[in-house]
Amino acid sequence: DSLTGLHNRRSFNQHLDRLWRQAQREQKTLALLLCDVDHFKAYNDRYGHQAGDAVLQRIGAVFEANARRPLDMAVRLGGEEFALLLYGANEHEARLRAEALRAQVQALRMEHEASDTAREVTLSVGVSCLWPTPGNDLKRLYDLYEHADRALY
């Protein structure tokens, strides 16, 4: 992604497919954190798109810092949507990382007077964790994404 320096959706899709096959071989879990910047359209409307881009860059840096292990991946899916793919993380670890992301973004104290949630920029996170079992196909990856998306809302 040219704005944040993170992986983009296309890179994410390719990486996810490769990691899924590796997780099956190594019997490791995959966790997906799907994230939205809350009330981002209202932010852009109030402060302008340049300020919105600066917010996305700062949030991107938080995501990059949270992709700690070599097979973790921080992604800007598009607009104000981000994801963090965690290789080998169980559900408890993924939930802890989700809360850490949320808190780190809020700790940036980026003013957001147009938000219905808080007076600073906040992040909503949906978590999904998948343990590969023999015979699982790539459709399960769709389930991983869909579960995280439902959890986000």
Q: What CATH number should be reported for the domain holding residue 107? A: 3.30.70.270
Q: What share of the chain in percent tops pLDDT 90?
A: 73
Domain count for the chain: 1
pLDDT-based confidence at residue 14 (cuts at 50, 70, 90): confident
Q: Does a structural domain hold residue 13?
A: yes
Q: Does a structural domain hold residue 2?
A: no
Residue ranges making up the domain that contains 115: 7-152
Please identify every residue annotated as catalytic. Answer: 80
pTM (2 d.p.): 0.91
Which alpha helices (DSSP H) does 31-85 contain, by range? 40-47, 49-66
The answer, yes or no, to whether residue 136 has pLDDT greater than 60, is no
pLDDT-based confidence at residue 134 (cuts at 50, 70, 90): low
Q: Does a structural domain hold residue 136?
A: yes
- The predicted pLDDT at position 135 comes to 62
Q: Does a structural domain hold residue 66?
A: yes
CB contact burial 119-131 (16+ within 10 A = b; e otherwise): eebbbbbbbbbbe
Q: Does a structural domain hold residue 1?
A: no
Beta strands across the sheet bearing 30-37: 73-78, 81-87, 30-37, 123-130
